[in-house]
Structure 1
Amino acid sequence: MTTGETALPVRLDRESLTPLAVQLADTLRESAADGHLRGGDRLPSTRALARRLGVSRTVTSAAYEQLHAEGWIAGRHGSGTYVTTSPPRERPARQVRPGTRSERSDLLELVPGVPWAEGLDRAAWRRAWRAAADAAPLSRAHRAGLPEYRAAIAEHLLRHRGLDAGADSVLATGGTTAALVELAGSVLDRDDVVAVEEPGYQRATHALRAAGIRVAGVPVDEEGLRPDAVPGGVRAVYCSPAHQYPMGGRLSAQRRVELVERARAEDFLLIEDDYDGELRFDVAPLPLLAALAPDVVAHLGTTSKILTPTLGAGWMVAPSTVTSAVLAYRERTGTRPSPAGQRVLVELARHGDLGRHLRRLRRELSERRSMLVAALHAAHIPVLGDDAGAHLVVEVPSAAAERELLTRARERGILLDGLGRHFAGRPSSYGVAIGYSGCSREALPGALDVLVELLAEQRD
């Protein structure tokens, strides 16, 4: 294939699970990023390109539409399609996102968001599923969640998170993102503005935007989200105060008070994503925003990080006006969280297996984190993030350094997660968020040796 004076090879793997249109868009995008295609180069028409590649025009049209939306190409009336001179933002290297399957099954995933599923007591797991299956089939939907599940979560929150919320205040959800979608559909309106952490959890940002909500990025530092940077006129602030995702800081007490005071004065909702708040190793789990200000906080939690995403179970504790709106939304849309995972969680809690697993999980992840931090510090590599959770952050100086690190790690059999993709706008820092819970204990030391070597090379 030729484009102006530029020869550009395009290889499509028809046996790959990645759609052909995505492969084509990735190839053209990477060619523009690395200089094979230059600003002003003319691309062939979608029909001509489809003919050359032996694919349908649907494939080439979809690829062009994606690149046009991203700002890599632009059409000129009556002239054709051209590569733009200035893409809107620097693009991090293409990578498999946490939670998705790598094209190479042999890659060791050191990415955040993967739980320590191998640590689950399999006997307890099987017992919980058998007991859950003994319950009679439901004849009607429980929009708020099974009563026994809500009671189990209320006990869990009191025991492990210090939140004294009665079972009637708990709603079952499908997880934190699912709960956010319900909040967007019930208590927020299209074109409302929600402040989000920058960098932050991009699934939350995408969920809000898909509901027609506008998002405003708020910078974070080592103390978490900056309340002084929250713009006026927002309807809600979405944050992860116990362990900011992905940078790993905790929201300081002073900022918690400041954020609550602003929420009350300006009448906005604080959406607290407590995705791994049970996992602190230096001190007791930090108090929840919901405990400080239950009148303005919607607290969201999930089993996917402390147990497994298999359950698809989470929870919400919020003011009665919010929970009533969510229940009305579920009634209107005929939706409700699946009760199967709720029943399994109830059985794990009933027999004490949930508490025992959390104690083992904290010990295991604390040891793994100590191993990583010691090795990185020995190589004089600074680490960001509190002594908590299942990931830590190492910064690198530039987008190019991040891309090189991700590529070289992948060549050595390790999948890493770049910081650049966690920004909704232009990235202001680069590096890797290193998850240490998804791989086996046996594989971790060897992977750590490679990781330290690659990071040390970045500093030379």
Structure 2
Amino acid sequence: MARGDTALPVRLDRGSDVPLAVQLADALRESASTGHLRGGDRLPSTRALASRLGVSRTVTSAAYEQLHAEGWILGRHGSGTYVTTSPPAARPERRGGVVGEEPSTDLIVLTPGVPWADGLDRAAWRRAWRAAADTPPLWNSQRSGLSEYRAAIAEHLLRHRGLDVGTDSVLATGGTTAAVVELAAAVLRPGDLVAVEEPGYQRAVHAFRRAGMRVAPVPVDSEGLRPDAVPPGARAVYCSPAHQYPLGSRMSAARRVELVERARAENLLVVEDDYDGELRYDVAPLPLLAALAPDVVAHLGTTSKILTPSLGAGWMVAPPSVTSAVLEYRDLTGTRPSPAGQRVLVELARHGDLGRHLRRLRRELSERRSMLVGALRDAKVPVLGDDAGAHLVVPLDSAEQERERLAEGRRRGLLLDGLARHFARIPTAHGVAVGYAGCSREVLRDCLGVLVDLLRPRPR
């Protein structure tokens, strides 16, 4: 049974650069995630909450709209607004290779960010773990990462990303998000202004904010992040130029040059998140920003999309001053990436299994994408995104349409993702993001009819 209106521990900072609606949504989301608000709790109306906080109803309505789009709250006609048990976008499912909470229904996972873990050669996987376990225990810390791992990554970057760096230029990390956390703590300072893609990768946004940075969302379009929209005084720019997350565009050559020129002129650090840059199917990728401007770019990569998050292994290639700051931070805090996943990657690379897997992965995901895009376009469904990666986006006209399609997808057995949760501020674009790597090809083919029917344009 629902409880009555719940007292809300909300404090709004009117002197902050963060809009009041975003502050309010963040506070309510935090209360729900920490348990102060529980499933079934009734929230005040937007009018009552606006009066209580001394803000306009536009602020509370925008905050509720954002939380509704993310799945944290649900409106009941004639009854009020209630906190849901848990948001659909934050509740992973087991089917399709995603390990998490047991689902209440058997949903097919079609969300972005899920790798093709079932495609790993199990014999090679077991062999790599056995070989990694045969190495003697370390007696000293490896703050830069295992030298053999860094050498394997240097070769990987040269072969698959066209980046020619030496072993000494590579730092092991725990993945791209872990690397962002280190950069925020070691290189930036509280109060620094960081430009981020909008929509974009919200874990990076939260990492910067948690470290005390001010975040400035910068719009993206079909050519990627707009360098002209990076605000003056920014200290860093975070972007995913090879395959923008989540819209899937590729930063054009002209914008890459423009961003690099601004970085050099204004002493900006460009953080290049190359989370799935190995997965391109149409043409050769454009040169990495780190290849164009190694003096101002921190390049981040990860094994979580090409192999599995189980390894917890990634890498960073950055200017010497940035590398030194990160290593000093690791010394001061006693933190460093775990060597276990690094050793497994080394063994996979040593026997050629990594290269073979990447070739199979590209072929498999390319065929899946072709199958999915073909079916959608035959049904006159528009598709956004380059021929790359492991997800695509179907644009929609409104937040209401997005919520309806996600809810209908769950009812019909499909777990999909919406664009709303990828905005740091109020969403300005709407759509459904469809991942095609987490389930088997057979399951994807079997659910294709339902998916196309769900996403096809409907009469107004």
Instruction: State the partner residue of 2:364.
Output: 364
Instruction: State the partner residue of 1:446.
Output: 446
Residue 405 of structure 1 and its aligned partner are, at CA, apart by 0.4
The counterpart of 2:65, out of the listed 77, 90, 114, is 90
Distance 1:104 1:22 in 2: 23
Residue 401 of structure 1 and its aligned partner are, at CA, apart by 0.6
Instruction: State the partner residue of 2:354.
Output: 354
Q: Does 1:429 align with 2:437?
A: no
The counterpart of 2:47, out of the listed 18, 21, 39, is 39
Instruction: State the partner residue of 1:318.
Output: 318
Q: Does 1:24 align with 2:38?
A: yes
Larger Rg: 1
8 Å Cα contact 1:301-1:315 kept in structure 2? yes
Q: Judging changes above 3 Å, is the alpha-carbon distance between structure 1 residues 306 and 382 closer, same or farther for their aligned structure 2 residues?
A: same
Distance 2:59 2:248 in 1: 37
Residue 28 of structure 1 and its aligned partner are, at CA, apart by 2.9
- TM-score, normalised to structure 1's length? 0.84
Where does 1:130-169 land on structure 2 (aligned, <5 Å)? Answer: 130-169=130-169
- TM-score, normalised to structure 2's length? 0.84
Where does 1:264-413 land on structure 2 (aligned, <5 Å)? Answer: 264-413=264-413
8 Å Cα contact 2:162-2:287 kept in structure 1? yes
Residue 90 of structure 1 and its aligned partner are, at CA, apart by 1.8
Q: Does 1:215 align with 2:215?
A: yes
The one-letter code of the counterpart of 2:47 is G
- Secondary structure at the residue paired with 1:216? strand
Structure 1 segments unaligned to the other structure (5+ residues): 5-17, 41-71
Distance 2:392 2:190 in 1: 35
- Secondary structure at the residue paired with 1:255? helix
Distance 1:169 1:224 in 2: 27
Residue 115 of structure 1 and its aligned partner are, at CA, apart by 0.2
Distance 1:300 1:85 in 2: 37
Residue 187 of structure 1 and its aligned partner are, at CA, apart by 0.6
Residue 363 of structure 1 and its aligned partner are, at CA, apart by 0.3
1:60-112 Cα shifts (integer Å, max 9, x gaps): xxxxxxxxxxxx677479xxxx9996343622041233676463351111000
Distance 2:375 2:37 in 1: 37
Residue 20 of structure 1 and its aligned partner are, at CA, apart by 9.2
Distance 1:337 1:231 in 2: 33
Q: Judging changes above 3 Å, is the alpha-carbon distance between structure 1 residues 178 and 93 closer, same or farther for their aligned structure 2 residues?
A: closer
- How many residues align? The count is 406
Q: Judging changes above 3 Å, is the alpha-carbon distance between structure 1 residues 173 and 20 closer, same or farther for their aligned structure 2 residues?
A: closer
The one-letter code of the counterpart of 1:316 is M
- Secondary structure at the residue paired with 2:433? strand
1:202-249 Cα shifts (integer Å, max 9, x gaps): 000001101111110000000000011011101100000000000000
- Secondary structure at the residue paired with 1:451? helix
Distance 1:267 1:427 in 2: 30
The one-letter code of the counterpart of 1:270 is V
1:281-319 Cα shifts (integer Å, max 9, x gaps): 001233210001000000000000000000000000000
1:248-285 Cα shifts (integer Å, max 9, x gaps): 00000000000000000000100000000000000123
- Secondary structure at the residue paired with 1:231? coil
Distance 1:2 1:114 in 2: 37
The one-letter code of the counterpart of 1:265 is A
- Secondary structure at the residue paired with 1:24? coil
- Secondary structure at the residue paired with 2:270? strand
Q: Judging changes above 3 Å, is the alpha-carbon distance between structure 1 residues 262 and 377 closer, same or farther for their aligned structure 2 residues?
A: same
Q: Judging changes above 3 Å, is the alpha-carbon distance between structure 1 residues 420 and 347 closer, same or farther for their aligned structure 2 residues?
A: same
1:156-189 Cα shifts (integer Å, max 9, x gaps): 0000000001000000000000000000011100
Residue 19 of structure 1 and its aligned partner are, at CA, apart by 7.5
Instruction: State the partner residue of 2:28.
Output: none
Q: Judging changes above 3 Å, is the alpha-carbon distance between structure 1 residues 381 and 160 closer, same or farther for their aligned structure 2 residues?
A: same
Instruction: State the partner residue of 1:13.
Output: none
8 Å Cα contact 1:160-1:285 kept in structure 2? no
Distance 1:250 1:163 in 2: 18
Instruction: State the partner residue of 2:419.
Output: 419
8 Å Cα contact 2:198-2:217 kept in structure 1? yes
Structure 2 segments unaligned to the other structure (5+ residues): 6-31, 72-87, 93-97
The one-letter code of the counterpart of 1:167 is T
8 Å Cα contact 1:181-1:208 kept in structure 2? yes
